[in-house]
Amino acid sequence: MSDAPSPVTDADFARFCEFLYRRTGILFTPAKRYFVDRRLGERMQATGSRSFAVYLARLRSDADGEVERLINAFTINETYFYREDHQLRCLTSSLLPETVARKAPGSTVRIWSMPCSTGEEPYSVAMWLLENWPEVDRYDVEIVGSDIDTRALTAAEEGLYGERALMRLRPDLVARYFVREETRLGPGWRILGDLRGSVRFTPCNLTDATDMAAHGRFDVVFCRNVLIYFDDASRRIAADHIYDALVPGGFVCLGHTESMSRISPLFRVCRYDDAIVYRRPREGEHV
């Protein structure tokens, strides 16, 4: 007799997608059925669940932290250093000068990468500031990377990357901020300890108000290429949470295919030479 779980029915698929949607805001349609079935089947087999009903009961009781393992299996962590670097140029040419114009030297500047995947984005921000923002040492810059995927966060803290992740970096940057290491999968490059120490990583669910509020407020939030996986309702919830996570006058940078104007009326559109970003209005300022 086979130990493989029984097949997932159409009704099971719909119930599972509803469960995942309520936990993460990510919506899978029948067009993604193969993707869902494969990963769901892997988790059912790993937990010894012979049927979807048994596995769903396990999820609802969250036995052995299975919900976290499931979410980790369904998140997508494809990224690389200096991705969409026009926004990094905008950060140092426009966003930070506007931000620190309202701060005294020595004040804290908070930048949030949410979701941060395996760390390439927040580490890119740290490197970019060191290379391109002369004011970096005049302020207490705090960079936080957060993600719902705890495996991605572990990888981010380790700071070890393959060649593809570094494809956009000049050789001198790689030499300055990485140390080459041999791994079982071939050559790897590990971020220097000082740079790893400049970024703090935390678990966070973009659609969970408590998770988001626990991180306080930020001057700049990078929230790129995640809202495309949400439906309209979840996007609006996420936008509300991002709004609350920004100081008045703070900025949010989305992915190049995303537009906050189509999601929420709360933000002002800011058009700079390098990028279009969105700003929480300052006190007394109307959208």
Q: How far apart are CA 255 and CA 274, in angstroms?
A: 14
Q: In this predicted model, what pLDDT tens digit does every residue of 19-31 receive, in sequence order?
A: 888 888 888 888 8
Q: SS3 for 186? A: strand
Confidence of residue 3 (pLDDT cuts 50, 70, 90): low
Q: How far apart are CA 139 and CA 104, in angstroms?
A: 8
**Is residue 115 a contact partner of residue 148, using CB atoms and an 8 Å limit?**
yes
The verdict on pTM exceeding 0.75 is: yes
Residue 204, C-beta contacts closer than 8 angstroms, at least 6 positions apart: 114, 115, 146, 147, 148, 211, 212, 214, 215
pLDDT, greater one: 253 or 66 = 253
* 160-175 core/surface letters (b: 16 or more CB in 10 A; e: else): bbeeebbeebeeebbe
- 279: nearest Cα among 86, 99, 92, 126: 99
Residue with tokens 């908070």: 110
Q: What is the mean pLDDT of residues 207-215?
A: 96
Confidence of residue 4 (pLDDT cuts 50, 70, 90): low
Q: Tell me, what's the pLDDT at 70?
A: 87
**Is residue 215 a contact partner of residue 204, using CB atoms and an 8 Å limit?**
yes
Q: In this predicted model, what pLDDT tens digit does every residue of 164-200 receive, in sequence order?
A: 899 999 999 999 999 999 888 788 999 999 999 999 9
